[in-house]
């Protein structure tokens, strides 16, 4: 096998896209790492307003075609006309709509899947559109049964197996964090001087932030000094702002907007706890970032979060769409200093287990193994 490989990644976003999330960042870290290891990496993705058609980002060649809807057809045409036979490996990253590479790519290929999307689809889109896209995802998944697949958590692997994917084909590689930015040990003196609850992530309906805001109405009846800080941006912010106003929580809920990475850790260190009320996650890397910051996490008992939160040790799991259950756990953690410190210390130890170095090394191992099948396209 060649020491260095030429690799094509198909993904629905690149790291400069204004709507990029944790999964996109994971992909970019993988691409950067592969470049540093001597491989040639090209990322093909849709364009966005103001985006360049082509550019190089930290050594990764980025090709942007069409938009989020047309990119799949344009990628198929570009591959057959200009890219076929140029790559030792194609990584098909599935986010809602598959790229269908098993139908036209003969080169060695693998799939990278962060999560299946049934539940978020039906919250974000109208029922007809959601049903059509869900059926495309469900049927399209059958084409990938013979490919090596990387996913991020045991619960997503279980979802894939429920979609008739053999568990033997699936490798779990959780995302990592940059440990150098975190304290070696939990430090209670970094915490805010008021009961600070934090949400950190995109402001989308499926993230369930409206349930957290409703929960804060109950929380402040028991702990009047408690505050909720919401960090992130997204198309659901206006609805969330209206809800906070309707519930009379303008002085309780603060929207911080986009928070850069260099401020993220400081914010998480100050929080008394982080809440992730999503209907579904791939892994919930923000739970690990909070844990490494010495902050316990309350999350929905769902895909991804049931893997990244150790119930009773680093935080708690609650039912989705249940503000009163969220309130009960928030109040339990905020009012019991001994419990909160124990959870925080455990969380800090748990978070330190996740390091990009391990994640990226394992990913390259899979890349080399799949590329070694020596099928030419």
Residues 223 and 325 in one domain: yes
Residues 93 and 38 in one domain: yes
Residues 89 and 138 in one domain: yes
Q: b/e string for 35-72 if b means 16 or more Cβ within 10 A?
A: bebebbbbbbbbbbeebeeeeeeeebbbbbbeebeebb
The residue-averaged pLDDT of 290-299 equals 96
239 in any annotated domain = yes
Question: Each residue of 254-263: pLDDT tens digit?
Answer: 999 999 988 9
Tell me if 336 sits within 8 A of 320, measured CB to CB: no
The enclosing H or E element of 244 equals: helix 237-246
377 in any annotated domain = no
Backbone angles phi, psi at 228, to 5 degrees: -115, 125
Residues 143 and 214 in one domain: no
pTM of the full structure:
0.87
Residue-number span of the structural domain to which 293 is assigned: 179-351
pLDDT at 254: 98
Which residues have C-beta within 8 Å of that of residue 109, sequence separation ≥ 6? 89, 90, 91, 92, 101, 102, 147, 370
Lowest mean pLDDT among 90-104, 180-194, 274-288: 180-194
Residue listed under structure tokens 């499926």? 206
> Would you state the structure tokens that stand for residue 107, as one six-digit string?
């080169």
CA angle 290-284-188, nearest 5°? 10
The two beta strands, 297-300 and 315-318, are parallel
Tally of domains within the chain: 2
pLDDT band (50, 70, 90) for residue 375: very low
Residues 27 and 117 in one domain: yes
Tell me if 150 sits within 8 A of 364, measured CB to CB: no
Residues 150 and 186 in one domain: no
């Amino acid at each position: 096998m060649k020491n260095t490989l030429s690799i094509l990644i198909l993904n629905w976003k690149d790291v400069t896209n204004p709507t990029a999330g944790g999964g996109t960042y994971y992909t970019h870290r993988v691409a950067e790492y592969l470049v540093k290891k001597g491989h040639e990496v090209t990322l093909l993705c849709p364009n966005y307003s103001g985006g360049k058609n082509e550019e190089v980002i930290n050594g990764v060649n980025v090709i942007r075609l069409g938009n989020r809807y047309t990119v799949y057809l344009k990628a198929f045409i570009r591959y057959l006309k200009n890219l076929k036979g140029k790559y030792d490996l194609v990584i098909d990253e599935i986010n809602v709509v598959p790229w269908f590479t098993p139908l036209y790519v003969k080169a060695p290929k693998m799939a990278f899947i962060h999560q299946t999307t049934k539940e978020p689809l039906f919250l974000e889109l109208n029922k007809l559109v959601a049903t059509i896209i869900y059926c495309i995802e469900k049927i399209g998944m059958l084409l990938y049964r013979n490919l090596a697949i990387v996913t991020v958590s045991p619960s997503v692997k279980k979802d894939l197996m429920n979609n008739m994917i053999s568990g033997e084909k699936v490798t779990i590689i959780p995302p990592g964090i940059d440990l150098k930015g975190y304290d070696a040990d939990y430090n209670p003196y970094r915490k805010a001087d008021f009961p600070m609850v934090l949400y950190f992530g995109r402001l989308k309906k499926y993230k369930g932030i409206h349930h957290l805001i409703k929960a804060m109405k109950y929380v402040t009846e028991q702990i009047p000094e408690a505050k909720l800080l919401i960090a992130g941006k997204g198309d659901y912010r206006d609805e969330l702002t209206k809800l906070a106003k309707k519930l009379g929580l303008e002085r309780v809920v603060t929207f911080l907007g986009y928070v850069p990475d260099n401020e993220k850790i400081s914010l998480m260190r100050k929080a008394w706890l982080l809440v992730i009320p999503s209907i579904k996650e791939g892994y919930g890397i923000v739970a690990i970032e909070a844990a490494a910051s010495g902050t316990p996490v309350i999350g929905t008992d769902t895909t991804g979060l049931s893997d990244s939160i150790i119930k009773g040790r680093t935080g708690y799991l609650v039912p989705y769409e249940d503000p009163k259950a969220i309130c009960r756990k928030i109040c339990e953690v905020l009012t019991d200093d001994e419990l909160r410190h124990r959870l925080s210390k455990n969380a800090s130890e748990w978070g330190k287990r996740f390091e990009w170095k391990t994640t990226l090394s394992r990913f390259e191992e899979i890349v080399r193994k799949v590329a070694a099948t020596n099928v030419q396209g």
